[in-house]
Amino acid sequence: DAKTTQPPSMDCAEGRAANLPCNHSTISGNEYVYWYRQIHSQGPQYIIHGLKNNETNEMASLIITEDRKSSTLILPHATLRDTAVYYCIVRVDQGGKLIFGQGTELSVKP
Amino acid sequence: DVKVTQSSRYLVKRTGEKVFLECVQDMDHENMFWYRQDPGLGLRLIYFSYDVKMKEKGDIPEGYSVSREKKERFSLILESASTNQTSMYLCASISGGRANEKLFFGSGTQLSVL
């Protein structure tokens, strides 16, 4: 199974861009990269996903390197409400099974 | 938006009790999952189901069973609750088949076994 590696914690100033990195060097060609976040004591929330191309939605942007071995989630203007644990996940199978790593704890500070 | 509803936000049970955690989704999803989450251990998959009356063991099925009698409902059962089953339990669902679909989570049930 493809595994992901993320830094355990990061800080970001409110209003600045938060760039969260993820390594997935064993990813296979048809596996998608997913990002979820979990605010304390709530269920994980979907943010964005991608295969090869960069993606953007109302929440974030996802930049995937050309060799697909790493990606970066960008929150363009972080707010205090973006403080959460962010999980980078490679989809394991067609059935939706996801293997969660430890994630990155992002602290947005005033 | 898809809604995944877990029946209880907080539960307190005694050791040895039989515990039912209920999960209902409203989008006709085929696949449903139960995870537990513990500090320092992250989310771990307990059981999952790809269809009614089907179930598959995840990474930590010991001490748990599941039931899926209807497509929209997936129940997690602790036959005889123990203190080491104190945890946050998360239910999730996804429409099966394609690789690029989203997994939706419920709000979680914080279970305390005393």
DSSP A98: B
Please report residues of A whose CB lies closer than 8 A to that of B102. Answer: 34, 46, 49
Q: Which residues contact A9 (CB under 8 A, 6 or more apart)?
A: A104, A105, A106, A107
Q: Is A1 a residue whose pLDDT tops 60? A: no
Give the SS3 label for residue A52. coil
DSSP A17: -
Rg (CA), chain A: 13
For B4-28, the pLDDT digits (tens) are 999 899 999 999 999 999 999 998 9
A9-61 pLDDT, tens digit per residue, is: 999 999 999 999 999 988 888 888 999 999 988 899 999 999 998 999 999 99
User: Phi and psi at residue A73, in whole multiples of 5°?
Assistant: -95, 130
Cβ–Cβ gap B31/A30 under 8 Å: no
Q: What is the pLDDT of residues B34-78, one digit of tens each?
A: 999 998 888 899 999 998 999 999 999 999 999 999 999 999 999
* CB-based contact, A2 to chain B, within 8 Å: no
Q: Do A51 and B100 make contact, defined as CB atoms within 8 angstroms?
A: yes
Interface check A16 vs B, CB under 8 A: no
Task: Characterize the bridge pairing of strands B73-78 and B65-70.
Answer: antiparallel
Q: Which residue type, as a one-letter code, is found at position A106?
A: L
More confident residue, A104 or B95: A104
Radius of gyration in angstroms for the set of CA atoms belonging to chain B, rounded to a whole number: 13
